[in-house]
Amino acid sequence: MFEKKLEDEATTHPFVKFLWHIDSMGQRTTIIPKNATDRGLFLFMTIGIPFAVVWLGGVVLPYYHTEVNGTVIFHITAATFIFYNIFHNLLLVIRIDASGRTSFLPSVLKPGWGYCSICQVNYPPRSYHCHICDECILKRDHHCKFTGCCIGYHNHRYFLMGVIYIFIGALYGIYYQWDYVYSTINLPIVYFFLTLIAPHFSLMFGGINLWGVVVATLHNLGLVTLIMAGYILTIQVRAICRGQTQYEMKHNIRDYNITLNQNIIDIMGRRWKIAWLTPAVESPLKGDGCKFLKTNEYEPPKDI
Ligand SMILES: [Zn+2]
Ligand SMILES: [Zn+2]
């Protein structure tokens, strides 16, 4: 039942191990990932996202506008809203404990449950052990290398919304700075696109200067972010439509597909229609991460 992903298992730095525990509120005491690869990607993300905001607000926006007007206020408000949502959602992904440690896990093995010899606990259906997090995760979806933690029953909502807002932010940023990129590179259309593909060659042949390389590279980083977030979102949407976790998708397990509405509630909580606005909106989940309705057990609500 366990995934045999043992890579990087023993790379947890002793200091990170010392920091890493759960407080009385059931939240992680540190945001630093346990694993070396995860720490690199986490650093890239935590520097990259605020840098993008500073770049767009401090370089691109003053290029378009020399004085504050309604358009400037609109862009600043929209960017603040998107950045806040990315930051708060990802913080909650990391801080909320996705494991079963704070749940009551029975000492008797129930039907459909498994036993984890590493954690020495009985784990419920849809839960699996993560060898990087070194614990069993309730309704485990996958291990996210950018946040350095597993996505499971308790933090899936924040992961999904974090990725959606990164996608929106990348799309918005690329669209907003397009004119700036085009006028900075300032080449005929074919050479412009060739420069975006290989800015260093364009520099060697005198097509652009060093600033042009910086602008083209930042545009490309935005594009990579957009493609990656779009790819993750496509997988997530496909899984939500089928009521599956990533493990269940790989193994074609379709036992928990109810209706699209119920599948969304399973992740986003009962107040999903407004929960997307901000992670501060409370949206309680239906269960405890241990018991799940199966497709054949679902009875649609009857009209009275
Ligand atoms: Zn375990
Ligand atoms: Zn994990």
Q: Cα separation of 62 and 66, whole Å?
A: 6
CA of 105 from ligand 2 middle (Å) equals 19
Q: Is residue 118's pLDDT more than 50?
A: yes
Q: Which residues sit opposite 115 in a β-bridge?
A: 122
CA 86 to chain centre: 9
**Three-class SS of residue 78?**
helix
| Contact predicate 132/35, CB 8 Å | yes
Q: Cα separation of 183 and 227, whole Å?
A: 24
At residue 110, what is the residue type? K
CA of 228 from ligand 1 middle (Å) equals 29
What are the structural domain ranges in the chain?
Answer: 14-296
Q: Cα separation of 61 and 75, whole Å?
A: 9
CA of 234 from ligand 2 middle (Å) equals 21
Of 127 and 99, which is predicted with more confidence?
Answer: 127
* Sole residue written with tokens 């008797």: 108
pLDDT attached to residue 288: 87
pLDDT attached to residue 156: 97
**Residue range 265-273: mean pLDDT, rounded:** 95
**Residue range 260-265: mean pLDDT, rounded:** 94
Ligand positioned closest to the Cα atom of 35: 2
Lowest average pLDDT, out of 66-75, 94-103, 222-231, goes to 94-103
Q: Is residue 2's pLDDT more than 70?
A: no
pLDDT attached to residue 16: 56
pLDDT attached to residue 18: 55
* Sole residue written with tokens 């913080």: 91
Ligand positioned closest to the Cα atom of 9: 2
Q: Cα separation of 45 and 86, whole Å?
A: 11
Ligand positioned closest to the Cα atom of 97: 2
Which residues, other chains included, contact 294 with Cβ-Cβ below 8 Å and sequence gap of 6+? 255, 256
List, for residues 164-214, the tens digit of each pLDDT value: 999 999 999 999 999 999 999 999 999 999 999 999 999 999 889 999 999
Cα angle 251, 257, 259 (rounded to 5 degrees) comes to 155
pLDDT attached to residue 24: 60
Ligand positioned closest to the Cα atom of 128: 1
Q: Is residue 258's pLDDT more than 60?
A: yes
- Confidence tier at 5 by pLDDT (50, 70, 90): very low
Mean predicted lDDT score pLDDT of the chain: 89
Of 104 and 174, which is predicted with more confidence?
Answer: 174
Q: Which two tokens stand for residue 85?
A: 């949502």
Determine what percent of the chain is predicted with pLDDT higher than 70.
89
Ligand positioned closest to the Cα atom of 98: 2
| Contact predicate 35/11, CB 8 Å | yes
CA of 133 from ligand 1 middle (Å) equals 9
Ligand positioned closest to the Cα atom of 150: 2
pLDDT attached to residue 196: 95
Of 35 and 274, which is predicted with more confidence?
Answer: 274
| Contact predicate 202/195, CB 8 Å | yes
CA of 192 from ligand 1 middle (Å) equals 52
Q: Which two tokens stand for residue 56?
A: 């767009």
At residue 163, what is the residue type? V
**Residue range 137-156: mean pLDDT, rounded:** 95
List, for residues 280-304, the tens digit of each pLDDT value: 999 999 888 888 988 888 877 776 5
List, for residues 6-48, the tens digit of each pLDDT value: 334 444 555 555 555 666 666 677 788 888 899 999 999 999 9
Ligand positioned closest to the Cα atom of 147: 2
Which residues, other chains included, contact 178 with Cβ-Cβ below 8 Å and sequence gap of 6+? none
| Contact predicate 122/105, CB 8 Å | yes
CA of 245 from ligand 1 middle (Å) equals 18
Q: Cα separation of 75 and 86, whole Å?
A: 16
Nearest to 93 by CA among 50, 31, 175, 168: 31
Q: Which residues sit opposite 116 in a β-bridge?
A: 121
Nearest to 271 by CA among 261, 281, 262: 281
CA of 25 from ligand 1 middle (Å) equals 21
Q: Cα separation of 151 and 96, whole Å?
A: 10
CA of 175 from ligand 2 middle (Å) equals 34
List, for residues 38-95, the tens digit of each pLDDT value: 999 999 999 999 999 999 999 999 999 999 999 999 999 999 999 999 999 999 999 9
Q: Cα separation of 93 and 132, whole Å?
A: 16
pLDDT attached to residue 28: 73
